[in-house]
Structure 1
Amino acid sequence: MSLLPELRYPSVPEVVASARSLAARRPALCALREVGRSRAGRPLLLLSVGHARRAVLVVAGAHSNEPAGGATLLAVAERVLNERELRRGTSWHFLLCADPDGASLHVTPAPRSLFDYHLGFFRPAGHEQPEWSPSVLPPDRLPPETRALTGVIDELRPYLQVTLHGTDLGGSWVQLTKDIPGLAEPFAKSAAELNIPVETGASDAAGWPASGPGVHVMPAPGAGAAYPSMPDDARNSTWYHAHRYGGLTAIVEVPMWASDLVDDPAPHPAPAVALRRLAGRLLRDATLVERVLADATPRLPDLDGPLLRAARWGLELVPGLAADWMHTPPADDTRAYVGSVDAFARRLPLRAAAMLLRVLLEHDDRAAPRLERLVAAWSEAFADRFRARWVPLEHQIEHQSRTVVAAALHARDRAA
């Protein structure tokens, strides 16, 4: 399952070292090459297995706070090398980390709790995220990581792009830019075998049609947004870049901690009332973080570092999102969906607080102890509310790997 001597989330240098080892072991079949450089000059590396024109592209590390992807990528690459059937008429290509700069700032090799996870938290502002930047920036301002990713898609023209994502607490789900008939069954079977709940009402896919429990298909262009205030649109992301070549993208999400509350399809008795209540809590929590930020700002020497940029960006989303939940009819009326919104409403201020805390601790600011208590309390409340249980890392990797392979096989049949 892993090329690492111990089972934990690998760092980007460890993923690169393992990929080099694979390429050296089978040089006739594998190649590792640089396809670009990050904003800070870090190499963006692509491992290729096989030489067929028909291609699958697997992308890890698009979000720095979702660390399972690197280990999954290595597991899938190992499986492709060992199973000739997976290479029949198909080459596989693995972008080892789409955002190595972001990965260098998120520190969570083996978190013991949600609080521990948040002490090392980093997730860049939306316009700095490689997959999302095309949805909010003009083409001439796209970061080099985005241009490298779209350049790889232009070169390979994959029939399938799979991008490996994750969630801190919840369940597993899949987002598809086009349906892959037959994927829902192996996805659900894998999740059940590994005791991973399927997130049937993921707020990330609010209002999208489903081809099976937890398998969501993005709506066609022109469909109304579930959250009108959100500044981005998945249909303008790099996920849709493969469509120009007849391909599609699958986004595979896997949880670090599971909650058995996220797969309840029963109708919620009062979803609109619940969303208004969650919106109010979101506004109150964000205000607490904003007050700490306002108090500390005059004492901070650098107000434009990546942690503060990301914290402010998250806080800026709050008023519009709260208004959406208060005034827009719920996109889904299930308990699972309301629970997913509850988790979303906890994440935004908690993540902003966690990143601000890292800045305050670095400068030994007097506001740090107060904010650390808040991050600890919110992390504990989040875990308690959703009855969080750790998903063994080997299960995270196995489920995500199985889903990647199932998507590739079923999409290949679709494209044939």
Structure 2
Amino acid sequence: MDKGAEDEVSVVDDVSKIVGAVERIDAFPTVDELSEFVDRLAGAVPDRVTVAEIGRSRGGDPIREVLVGSGAKQVVVIGNPHPNEPIGMATIRHLLGRLAADDAQTLDATWHFVLCLDPDGTRLNEGWFAKARTRTGVARGFYRPPAAEQPEWCFPTSWRGTAVGAPLPETRALMRLIDRTSPALIVSLHNADFGGGFFYTTGGDRDYWTGLTDQLTAAGVPIYAGEPDVPGARTWAPGVFELPSFQRIADTLAAEGVEPLAMMYGGGIRDYAASHGTALLVCELPIWVDSRVTDDAPSGHSMASALCSTATAYEEVADIVLGALDRLSDQLTGHSPFERALTDSVRALRGNATAKRSATDSRTATLGEIFIEDYVWVGVARLRAGGMLLRLLDEETRYRPSAEVATERTHFAAIFEKWCTDIETNAPGHPIPVHRLVRIQSSAIITAATRLRDNLPL
């Protein structure tokens, strides 16, 4: 066996040893459950685990950092950057238990685990964390904040001379942590909902990218084969994309005829951490999988026509949501998080429709790409917007009932049921057991950390 092969086997062995066996669980932890776990852990091994409050959310919840290890290189791991993406909280709970048990497993690093970056939004999703996870069931309890209220995308930056970004309290807490630690690596733990798994990195090499996607293959999760969901992202390898800077994202949107500053409200972590030379890893794992996302048979349709169909569907969803909001404008106050999220969804859907329609890709789309457009992008847009609109209407019915709200709810519920029936019939997906998702994310994190220890490119 040559030296390179021996090194690769050593890294794989290190990853397996540190991640260990993952307990079978049926639910994602809530904000309070994860916090209680951390308090118990710190009480049990106070010499190895330190808990600190690094800020407060807009709703007054503490943003908590847990420190493990004492190595020179700093690693920051972020849970729930988007509140509908709870895999990371389960992953953090598992990894904390492993790293706290043995200092030798910390890979010569100091680890900073941010338990939950958006606790306010996460609490609005907790209703589905312990339930049977169906795509339509989760949609009925779904919440995702508007872009301006997403802590991971509100960092200060500029574009073509215009200052951008009004950091939220949660963002400022993360800014302080980054400036205090100058991390060599930041890992942000996301969900990709449905389809296949993928990763964003700021660099690396073929061994690194394969090491990440091998975790998907080992768990039976298909590697996402579509286009990246961040404009301007380049493909490093199948299922691994470059995490682009705000500048590249904005330039790409502008070239597609979309006003960037109408789509984005700040820079990302990459932009803010760039001055520290920080490498980024973003883990995007699906809660449900469907092997059709990898079907490479020709569809008989051009990619441009498929994207145009998606654009039309986006606009239809936007029109339905905006129509409901307009008809109830005299009653809505703007205070509901669901109303703000829906108003932003309309904006984003219209901008994404413009970008999709500008595509000139004349090649024949694969059946997998058609399926992704229909049931990953369009399906997700319908379920997310529809679920939040139904929650808004139910909220109005409870607190400000009126004949107009009742009529609107009856009308939209029929539309939403059709969308749900389409998903349940044609693309329900196969839910991935939580412990397998935790193993994939944990293995990806430790894969990156072993490379950091060994001074390999990230």
User: Could you tell me the TM-score, scaled by structure 2's length?
Assistant: 0.82
Inter-CA distance 243–264: structure 2 relative to 1 (3 Å threshold): farther
Q: Which of 157, 175, 197 is the matching residue for 2:182?
A: 157
Pairing 1:377–2:418 present: yes
Give the Å deviation of 1:3: 10
- Quote the residue 1:117 is aligned against: 138
- Quote the residue 2:437 is aligned against: 396
Inter-CA distance 228–83: structure 2 relative to 1 (3 Å threshold): farther
- Quote the residue 2:381 is aligned against: 348
Task: Decide which moves more: 202-211 or 282-291.
Answer: 202-211
Inter-CA distance 181–349: structure 2 relative to 1 (3 Å threshold): same
Alignment of 1:73-112 (within 5 A): 73-106=92-125, 107-112=127-132
1:319-377: CA deviation from partner (whole Å, max 9, x where unpaired): 22212212233499753555444322333343222212112112223122332332333
1:176-195: CA deviation from partner (whole Å, max 9, x where unpaired): 12335522223222212211
Q: Which of 182, 204, 207 is the matching residue for 1:179?
A: 204
Alignment of 1:291-306 (within 5 A): 291-300=323-332, 302-306=333-337
1:42-65: CA deviation from partner (whole Å, max 9, x where unpaired): 110000001223111100011011
Aligned mates of 1:118, 1:88 — CA distance in 2 = 39
Aligned mates of 2:275, 2:358 — CA distance in 1 = 36
Pairing 1:243–2:279 present: no
Aligned mates of 1:133, 1:150 — CA distance in 2 = 10
- Quote the residue 1:65 is aligned against: 84
Pairing 1:311–2:330 present: no
Aligned mates of 1:388, 1:59 — CA distance in 2 = 27
Query: 2:329 corresponds to which letter in structure 1?
Result: T
| SS of equivalent to 1:257 | strand
Is the 2:154–2:167 Cα contact (8 Å) retained in structure 1?
A: yes
- Quote the residue 2:294 is aligned against: 263
Structure number with bigger Rg = 2
Task: Decide which moves more: 141-150 or 234-243.
Answer: 234-243
Give the Å deviation of 1:402: 1.0
Inter-CA distance 387–3: structure 2 relative to 1 (3 Å threshold): closer
Pairing 1:407–2:434 present: no
Q: Which runs of 5+ in 1 are unaligned?
A: none
| SS of equivalent to 1:236 | coil
Aligned mates of 1:123, 1:78 — CA distance in 2 = 29
Inter-CA distance 267–28: structure 2 relative to 1 (3 Å threshold): farther
- Quote the residue 2:320 is aligned against: 288
Inter-CA distance 139–293: structure 2 relative to 1 (3 Å threshold): closer
Is the 1:59–1:96 Cα contact (8 Å) retained in structure 2?
A: yes
| SS of equivalent to 2:330 | helix
Query: 1:124 corresponds to which letter in structure 2?
Result: P
Aligned mates of 1:334, 1:160 — CA distance in 2 = 36
User: How many residues are matched?
Assistant: 415
Pairing 1:195–2:220 present: yes
Query: 2:395 corresponds to which letter in structure 1?
Result: E
Is the 2:107–2:449 Cα contact (8 Å) retained in structure 1?
A: no
- Quote the residue 1:145 is aligned against: 170
Query: 1:261 corresponds to which letter in structure 2?
Result: R
Task: Decide which moves more: 251-260 or 3-12.
Answer: 3-12
Aligned mates of 2:265, 2:361 — CA distance in 1 = 19
Aligned mates of 1:90, 1:388 — CA distance in 2 = 38
Inter-CA distance 281–2: structure 2 relative to 1 (3 Å threshold): same
Is the 1:135–1:233 Cα contact (8 Å) retained in structure 2?
A: no
RMSD: 2.9
1:96-134: CA deviation from partner (whole Å, max 9, x where unpaired): 010111112123213432221011111100011000112
1:300-333: CA deviation from partner (whole Å, max 9, x where unpaired): 4x33321100011001122222122122334997
Q: Which runs of 5+ in 2 are unaligned?
A: 1-19, 398-404
| SS of equivalent to 2:294 | coil
